[in-house]
């Protein structure tokens, strides 16, 4: 049985691929017909052998014209089916070559200082779930074609010093800006900024959390393509700063991080730094150029200094540890999890606070006895140690924890502690985290030295930040709840929190009871000549005041909502956090 093969379009036959007598298989390409600058395939419908060929290459043809007649055969011919050209186009080979260059670490420029450090691609692999990462602009090269050969740029400046893209971290979509120190020292060039602007637009539109691996040398002066004399009009810094009101942003910094790279880290909500980090708004070259002296990069903003002054929120031993901490932080600020591990049940919370009022205790015993195991991340642990701040989960619910630590400045709030609390309120507000405030403070630091440090406006800002924070606070008075400092830990008032509870050891007042007695009863005490009798009267007045301002007395007067045993605190917190989750959900 014979069948005809007809043209599907009108045009010119650009290539005939059969001869009379040629065997054909089903789907074999008979010829190509060019029409409107496009070539259309004409295929055989069934196996057979060519009987006639009616047109040659270059012939004009109309729709329906019979190109050839084929005699059908019962058995399939041995001719292989061909649906396209036998060989791939050169573009495929070029893409394969570029892929190979991009993925082969041996082909990339290595800086001796970076030996042993994770490459940018390895960081991406560790951060994101397997196979989830979609990169933007991976083939971008440095804008230096006027001064360097194209092939050299392809081989040495791939990604223009930064990897950008979106993937999932434990199933949650997250974007990244990952500077590649192995390419042009991770400096910021023309294409580099264009890539930043592109991913920042994606982050803003999709409201994605952002992780920035910021290490790099700052602005790059060597780009020659396009007339950009200063680069002061680039929008990257403004756009990433705008995200501070929209999405969580975590920066991971290691090695040398200066100038523009440091500026990107500085606007992050959390900065995780690794041992060996040096970070500053200007590197050694800029410092020397400004006539400010000659320094080794390791002398400019070393991590020990940055940790002590509160610039670094979390310190990690190395990049692997930093990425694990980043993933933990991203997990803590996400929604509730059901597979949580209980707190350390071996800690007897009822016996942590000493019976002697003036004795310090280990605050970490309380925190570890309340939060889910392996979820606690302390922020700025070596800055303002009198106020501790943590991200953690309690019963699977995420929370930010603020706590006064009596081992440092007796738990009083100085300017640095107030600044730390301000940032804590902001983080909780932005991440939509409830705040658990553990109170044990004699109040704000006062006196001539404190005022000389300029703490007054910082204390005022703390009240503003707390009062305007939309996150709910759950307040737990561990021991001392005195004065304005205690009120600042509760958004300005003990009635502002969702609930204010106290342990039985709680004691309250506008100021410390000792000072209150000495001030309030000065004349009475001075009138007693005998020092022993005077001291006895003082202790009598003190004990009476302590009784009237104890936790149960305040509960009687309904100045606080409840008094609970320390051992019941975790259950109380879990119930309140569950209520908040229900209200939000």
Q: What is the pLDDT of residues 178-189, one digit of tens each?
A: 999 888 888 888
- Residue 251, H or E segment: strand 249-253
| Eight-class DSSP state of 288 | H
Q: What tens digit of pLDDT does each residue of 91-104 get?
A: 888 888 888 877 76
Q: Is the pLDDT of residue 514 over 80?
A: no
State the pLDDT at residue 138.
Answer: 87
pTM of the complete model: 0.81
Query: How many other CB atoms are there within 10 angstroms of residue 471's CB atom?
Result: 22
What is the Cα–Cα distance from 313 to 382, expressed in whole angstroms?
Answer: 9
Do 2-72 and 92-330 come out as alike in CATH topology? no
Q: Report the pLDDT value the prediction gives residue 74, as an integer from 0 to 100.
A: 62
Would you place residue 106 in the very low, low, confident or very high pLDDT band (cuts 50, 70, 90)? Answer: very low
Mean predicted confidence (pLDDT) in 74-97: 65
CA-to-CA dists, residue 162 to 99, 100, 176, 199, 566, angstroms: 16, 18, 10, 11, 50
**Burial of residue 194, with CB atoms counted within 10 A of its CB: 0-12 exposed, 13-18 middle, 19 or more buried:** middle
* Distance of alpha carbon 265 from alpha carbon 251, whole angstroms: 5
Report helix, strand or coil for 532: helix
* Nearest Cα residue to 27 out of 15, 45, 41: 45
> pLDDT tens-digit profile of 299-352?
888 999 999 999 999 999 999 999 999 999 998 887 677 778 888 878 999 999
Spatial CA neighbour of 281 closest among 300, 262, 301, 255: 262
Can you give the residue ranges of every domain in the chain?
2-72, 92-330, 336-506+550-584
Range with the poorest average pLDDT among 81-85, 209-213, 253-257, 459-463? 81-85
- Neighbouring residues of 398: CB distance < 8 A, sequence distance ≥ 6: 332, 333, 334, 335, 336, 391, 392, 431, 433, 434
For the domain made up of 336-506+550-584, the CATH class stated in words is alpha beta
Least Cα distance to 180 among 235, 220, 231 occurs for 220
Tokens standing for residue 130: 């397997």
| Measured distance CA(199)–CA(164) in Å, rounded | 7
Q: What is the pLDDT averaged over residues 172-196?
A: 89
Q: Which two tokens stand for residue 568?
A: 């019941």
Q: What is the CA radius of gyration of the chain?
A: 35
Q: What percent of the chain has pLDDT over 90?
A: 56
d(CA 165, CA 205): 14
Residue 107's pLDDT is 45
CA distance 205 to 134: 16
The DSSP bridge partners found for residue 24 are 48
Is the pLDDT score of 110 beyond 60? no
At residue 115, does pLDDT exceed 60? no
Angle, helices 319-332 vs 120-127, to 10°: value is 30
* pLDDT tens-digit series, residues 523-572: 888 788 888 888 888 787 777 777 877 899 889 989 999 999 999 999 99
Element (H, E) at 152: helix 150-156
Right CATH for 2-72 from 2.40.50.100, 2.60.40.10, 1.25.60.10, 3.40.250.10: 2.40.50.100
* CB-based contact 414:384 (threshold 8 Å): yes
Whether 9 has a pLDDT exceeding 70, the answer reads yes
Q: What was the pLDDT predicted at 75?
A: 59
Per this entry, what is the length of the chain? 585
- pLDDT, tens digit, for every residue of 31-62? 999 999 999 999 998 899 999 999 999 999 99
The two three-digit tokens of residue 191, written as one number:
């294409």
54 by DSSP, 3-state: which? coil
Q: In which band, very low, low, confident or very high, does the pLDDT at 85 lie, cut at 50, 70 and 90?
A: low
Instruction: Give the pairing of strands 499-502 and 562-563.
Output: parallel
Q: How confident is the prediction for the chain on average, in pLDDT?
A: 88
Confidence at 222, pLDDT banded by 50, 70, 90: confident
pLDDT tens digits along 358-405: 899 999 999 999 999 989 999 999 999 999 999 999 999 999 999 999
CATH number for the domain formed by residue range(s) 92-330: 3.90.226.10
Tell me the C-alpha to C-alpha distance, in Å, between residue 136 and each of 62, 139, 165, 191. Answer: 45, 9, 5, 12
Percent of the chain with pLDDT over 70: 93
Task: Quote the pLDDT of residue 584.
Answer: 47
Q: Mutual orientation of helices 455-468 and 415-431 as an angle, nearest 10°? A: 20
Q: Is the pLDDT of residue 81 over 60?
A: no
Residue with tokens 């700063």: 241
Q: In this structure, what token pair is assigned to residue 112?
A: 């001796």
pLDDT grade for 230, boundaries at 50, 70 and 90: low
Give the residue-averaged pLDDT of 168-194.
89
Between 466 and 286, residue with greater pLDDT: 466
Q: Report d(CA 13, CA 268) in Å as an integer.
A: 62
Closest by CA position to 455, among listed 414, 404, 408, 410: 414
């Amino acid at each position: 049985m014979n069948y005809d093969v007809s043209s599907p379009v009108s045009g010119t036959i650009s290539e005939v691929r059969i001869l009379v007598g040629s065997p054909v298989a089903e789907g074999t390409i008979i010829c190509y017909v060019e029409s409107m600058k496009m070539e259309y395939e004409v295929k055989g419908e069934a196996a057979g052998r060519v009987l006639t060929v009616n047109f040659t290459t270059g012939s004009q043809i109309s729709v329906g014209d019979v190109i050839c007649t084929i005699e059908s055969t019962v058995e399939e011919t041995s001719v292989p089916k061909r649906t396209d050209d036998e060989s791939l186009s050169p573009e495929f080979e070029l893409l394969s070559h570029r892929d190979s260059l991009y993925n082969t670490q041996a082909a990339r420029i290595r800086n001796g200082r970076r030996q042993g450090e994770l490459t940018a691609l390895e960081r991406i692999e560790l951060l994101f779930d397997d196979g989830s990462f979609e990169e933007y602009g991976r083939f971008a090269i440095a804008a230096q074609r006027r001064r360097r050969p194209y092939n050299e740029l392809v081989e040495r400046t791939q990604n223009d010093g930064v990897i950008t893209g979106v993937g999932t971290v434990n199933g949650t979509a997250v974007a990244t800006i990952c500077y590649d120190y192995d390419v042009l020292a991770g400096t910021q060039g023309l294409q580099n900024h264009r890539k930043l602007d592109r991913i920042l637009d994606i982050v803003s539109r999709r409201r994605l959390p952002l992780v920035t691996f910021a290490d790099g040398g700052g602005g790059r002066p060597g780009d020659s393509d396009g007339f950009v004399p200063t680069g002061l009009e680039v929008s990257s810094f403004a756009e990433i700063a705008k995200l501070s009101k929209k999405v969580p942003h975590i920066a991971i910094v290691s090695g040398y991080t200066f100038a523009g790279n440091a500026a990107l880290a500085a606007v992050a909500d959390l900065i995780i730094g690794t041992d060996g980090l040096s970070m500053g708004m200007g590197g050694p070259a800029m410092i020397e150029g400004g006539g400010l002296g000659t320094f080794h990069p390791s002398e400019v903003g070393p991590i020990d200094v940055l940790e002590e002054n509160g610039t670094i929120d979390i310190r990690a031993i190395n990049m692997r540890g930093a990425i694990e901490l980043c993933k933990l932080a991203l997990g803590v600020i996400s929604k509730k999890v059901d597979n949580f591990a209980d707190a350390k049940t071996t800690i007897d919370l009822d016996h942590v606070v000493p019976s002697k009022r003036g004795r310090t205790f280990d605050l970490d015993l309380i925190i570890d006895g309340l939060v889910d195991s392996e979820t606690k991340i302390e922020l700025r642990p070596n800055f303002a140690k009198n106020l501790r701040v943590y991200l953690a989960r309690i019963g699977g619910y995420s929370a930010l924890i603020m706590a006064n630590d009596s081992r440092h400045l007796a738990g009083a709030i100085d300017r640095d502690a107030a600044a730390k609390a301000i940032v804590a309120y902001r983080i909780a507000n932005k991440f939509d985290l409830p705040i658990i405030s553990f109170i044990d403070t004699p109040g704000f630091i006062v006196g001539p030295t404190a005022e000389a440090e300029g703490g007054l406006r910082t204390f005022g800002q703390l009240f503003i930040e707390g009062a305007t924070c939309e996150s709910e606070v759950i307040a737990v008075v561990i021991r001392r709840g005195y004065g304005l400092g205690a009120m600042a830990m509760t958004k300005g008032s003990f009635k502002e929190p969702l609930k204010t509870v106290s342990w039985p050891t709680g004691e309250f007042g506008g100021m410390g009871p000792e000072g209150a007695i000495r001030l309030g009863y000065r004349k009475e005490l001075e009138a007693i000549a005998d020092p022993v009798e005077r001291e006895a009267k003082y202790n009598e007045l003190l004990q009476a005041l302590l009784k009237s301002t104890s936790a149960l007395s305040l509960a009687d007067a309904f100045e606080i909502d409840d008094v609970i045993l320390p051992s019941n605190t975790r259950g109380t917190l879990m119930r309140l956090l569950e209520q908040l989750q229900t209200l939000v959900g």
